[in-house]
Amino acid sequence: MKIIGLIGGISWVSTLDYYRLINEGINAKLGDLNFARCIVYSFNYQDIKRNNDSNNWDLTLKMITEASNHLIASGAEAIILCANTMHVIADRLKENISVPIIHIATATAREIRKQNVDRVALLGTKFTMEMDFFKDRLSKEGIETVIPGDDDRSFIHYTIFEELGRNLILEKTKERYLQIIDKLIADGAKGIILGCTELPLLIKASDVSVPIFDTTKIHADAAVEFSLS
């Protein structure tokens, strides 16, 4: 079994889910008392958010590179960035480290193609929705991406940091999300990407009439596949 290095704390809430899902996935494959060989490096989220808010991706890259190299020195054979937004710097990070990065958008695109969906709506932070690092990976697989309108993007971004990242789950927030999703479906979305690792805390597949692509679960499954390869 290969050792996985998890870059977490971005946020700690979703890092818990990664740890649980990867361990459950290994055990489902191997049974008995088999669980994941993994190492976690957990950031102070405030430090990362400060960089994001000031558009200082270079500093974030430096911090993530140092963390990755600590994990590699401890035996990690691949890196998992436990947040969609952190994949802004994934391609540059790949040049700085000696092991593979298991990319969340690549794994998600593969899952979307399996379900024969060709037009999806992407929910996440403003960085994930508005920048191209995630959408480009989907486009290469022939998948068209749509995003919510300006006000809805601002609402989603705010609630990710101020509510979900603090493990604050509010029913009124879920209602607004479902209204946003309904608009996107009406506009032709055939699937919904939960493109922030906190969003599955709020939205479940049973809430929505089209396929939901939970990037946390998809990414964790890709980590399990690599670990057992």
Q: Which amino acid is at 224?
A: V
Domain limits, the chain? 4-104+218-227, 105-214
pLDDT of residue 11: 87
Domains 4-104+218-227 and 105-214 share a fold: yes
Fold topology of 4-104+218-227: Rossmann fold (3.40.50)
* Residues paired with residue 38 on neighbouring β-strands, in sequence order: 4
Is the pLDDT at 166 greater than 90? The verdict is no
Alpha carbon of 181 to those of 33, 56, 139, 164, 167: distances in Å? 40, 31, 21, 17, 21
Classify domain 105-214 at the CATH topology level: Rossmann fold (3.40.50)
Q: Is 83 helix (H, G, I), strand (E, B) or coil?
A: coil
Comparing 6-15, 75-84, 213-222, the range with the smallest average pLDDT is 6-15
Residue 197 scores a pLDDT above 90: no
Residues 6+ apart with CB under 8 A from 137: 103, 105, 106, 108, 109
pLDDT, one tens digit per residue, over 20-64 is 999 999 999 999 999 999 999 999 999 998 998 899 999 999 999
Q: Residue 142: what are its φ and ψ, rounded to 5°?
A: 75, 25
| pLDDT tens readout for residues 91-130 | 999 999 999 999 999 999 999 999 999 999 999 999 999 9
Q: Among residues of the chain, what percentage have pLDDT more than 70?
A: 100
Determine the average pLDDT of the residues in 54-76: 97
Question: Using 50, 70 and 90 to split pLDDT, how confident is the model at 165?
Answer: confident
Calculate the average pLDDT of the chain: 96
CB 177 within 8 A of CB 203: yes
